[in-house]
Chain A
Amino acid sequence: AQSVTQPDIHITVSEGASLELRCNYSYGATPYLFWYVQSPGQGLQLLLKYFSGDTLVQGIKGFEAEFKRSQSSFNLRKPSVHWSDAAEYFCAVGTHTGRRALTFGSGTRLQVQP
C-alpha cells in the first residue's frame, strides 16, 4: 500500500523568503503525485500534479515541485512567499492500478511572518 510522509508539521517563513515543503512517498512503482492547499475553512485546491515526463512541474500561484525518484520525494518550492500563502499544504499520491483514491500526507501548516 502507498503512503506519504510530510516530516514538517509546521513551518514559519518571512514574507519574501523562499519556501520548500518536504514530501516523501512510498509506492512500488512510479506514482501520480499532487500538492493541494487548504486555506482556513475551505476545501482543497490543487496546486500542481506530476504524472510522467519532466520531473520539474509548475503549478499555480508561483509554486513548483520536483519529482526525485531516487529519493522518493516530491518537494514543493516557491522562490518568494506572500502573506496570502499562509495555509495548510498536503502532498498526496495516486496509483495507476488498484486502490482508486488519493492517499494524503498529514499536512504542513505554513505561517508567514510580515
Chain B
Amino acid sequence: DTAVSQTPKYLVTQMGNDKSIKCEQNLGHDTMYWYKQDSKKFLKIMFSYNNKELIINETVPNRFSPKSPDKAHLNLHINSLELGDSAVYFCASSQGGQGEAFFGQGTRLTVV
C-alpha cells in the first residue's frame, strides 16, 4: 500500500482551465501539506492542514484552493491555470507538523 498517493501523476492542460489534484495518506497522520517544486527543483510550502484545519497558507495566488474533507485527504484545486503554474506539486503528511514528512510521488503539471 502506498503511504501517500496523489493523482494524477501527469497533468497537461491549456491555459485558463481549472484542474484538481487529489491526495490521500494511509499513515494516520494529522497534518498534510502541498509543496510546489519549480523548474530549478526548489521546494516551497504552499499549504498545510492539521486535522482539517488550514494552518499554513503561504503567499499563493487565490486561484489555488486547498480542501481537506477529512484528515486523510487533501486536494488542491487550481482555477484559471497560467503558464507559470507549470511545476511539480507534492503532497506530504506528517504527525504533529514537526517530524519527518512523507511525500507522494508528485504531480507534474504542464500548462500549455
Contacts and interface: CB of A to CB of B under 8 A. Distances in A.
Interface residues of A, number: 25
Interface stretch (A15-23, A63-71, A78-86, A99-107): A99-107
Contacts of B98: 32, 94-96, 100
Contacts of B55: 100
Given A32-B99, A43-B90, A107-B41, A100 B105 contact: no
Interface residues of B, number: 26
A43 B100 contact: no
A100 B31 contact: yes
B103 A43 contact: yes
- Interface residue SS majority, chain A: strand
Contacts of B90: 43-44
B104 to A, nearest CB: 6
Contacts of B50: 100
A46 B97 contact: no
B26 to A, nearest CB: 15
Interface string A11-49: 000000000000000000000101010100011111001
A90 interface: yes
Interface of A: 32, 34, 36, 38, 42-46, 49, 51, 88, 90, 94-96, 99-104, 106-107, 109
Interface of B: 4, 31, 33, 40-45, 48, 50, 55-56, 90, 92, 96-106
